[in-house]
Amino acid sequence: VERLTGRSRAIVRVMEQVSHVASTRATVLIEGETGTGKGLVAQAVHRLSPRKAERFVWVNCGALAEGVIESELFGHERGSFTGATQQRRGHFERAAGGTLFLDEITEMPIELQSKLLRVLESGALTRVGGETHIPVSVRLVAASNRPPREAIQTNKLREDLFYRLNVFPIVLPPLREREGDALLLADHFLRALNASAEADKRLSDRARERIRAHPWPGNVRELKNELHRAFIMSGEVIELDDLASGTRPDPASAPGDGIQ
């Protein structure tokens, strides 16, 4: 399992928060830009919790079709709709005893959020087409890549659900605010790539300086993907020119950016 990596004050603070909340039953709401590692934080909460031996179920609410998301979350009974040829347990039941991670919670249809709220408050669910109340015990972690209060104002998130989820908020800093971590992460990813390919590639000084100076608007995900691409394109040394054009300095501004 990939883990949180970094030494900046901002990410160390996140690690401290994770270590404190993991052993509790508190619901966690993770906020951060796309690519900052919200899924890694959710996995860390589970891995450090008393539920670590049970399942960790990751659900991307933005990737589920609107017509099936209720069935995916809460399950359905046989014959409850066209194509429901057998009873099916949903993600809540599959995660019973463990942790359910609802990523991109603001992409869940607003009308379904009220049902989610009822399940969280009652500790029981009803499958689509069913009448039986089924008790479920799950640790819920949710994440949003947009500010929750902004999502409330644009009717993407119910305010009452927000307060139910926001028991323990964790705000992930963007990579540009994690001083020194870009190079640390680059070295971490490069070690993994070298191990996988049985290689011994390294970053040139100019490439290292550019990785350090680049703002990485796509955050850790952008850095990881860019390093993978450069690894494929390079020889034994990953040079500045092996980095994608978007991460290289503008020739017009190069003299002033610290790269000779």
Strand ranges inside the chain, DSSP E:
28-31, 56-60, 99-103, 124-125, 134-135, 139-144, 168-171, 202-203, 237-238
Tens of pLDDT, residue by residue over 159-171, are 999 999 999 999 9
Residue type, 142: A
- Look at residue 33 and tell me whether its pLDDT is greater than 70: yes
Tell me the three state secondary structure of residue 233. Answer: helix
Q: Which residues contact 196 (CB under 8 A, 6 or more apart)?
A: none
Between 77 and 74, the more confident residue is 74
The DSSP annotation for 85-126 comes to -S-B--HHHHTTTSEEEEESGGGS-HHHHHHHHHHHHHSEE-
Sheet with strand 99-103: strands edge to edge: 56-60, 99-103, 139-144, 28-31, 168-171
Residue 126 confidence (pLDDT): 87
28-37, 88-97, 240-249 — most confident range: 28-37
Q: What is the pTM of this model?
A: 0.88
Tens of pLDDT, residue by residue over 87-104, are 788 899 999 999 999 999
* Beta-carbon count within 10 A of 171 CB: 14
CA 25 and chain centroid, separation: 20
Share of the chain above pLDDT 90, in %: 78
* Beta-carbon count within 10 A of 250 CB: 8
Confidence at 247, pLDDT banded by 50, 70, 90: confident
Tell me the three state secondary structure of residue 167. Answer: coil
**What distances in angstroms separate CA 52 from CA 23, 150, 209, 236, one per listed residue?**
10, 33, 39, 40
Strand partners, 174: none
Residue 79 confidence (pLDDT): 66
* Beta-carbon count within 10 A of 81 CB: 12
Q: Nearest CA to 211 among 237, 246, 236? A: 246
Tens of pLDDT, residue by residue over 174-227, are 999 999 999 999 999 999 999 999 999 999 999 999 999 999 999 999 999 999
d(CA 12, CA 15): 5
- Look at residue 254 and tell me whether its pLDDT is greater than 70: no
Output the six-digit token pair for 226: 């860019």
> Region 75-89: what's the mean pLDDT?
74
The answer to whether 201 and 60 are in contact (CB under 8 A) is no
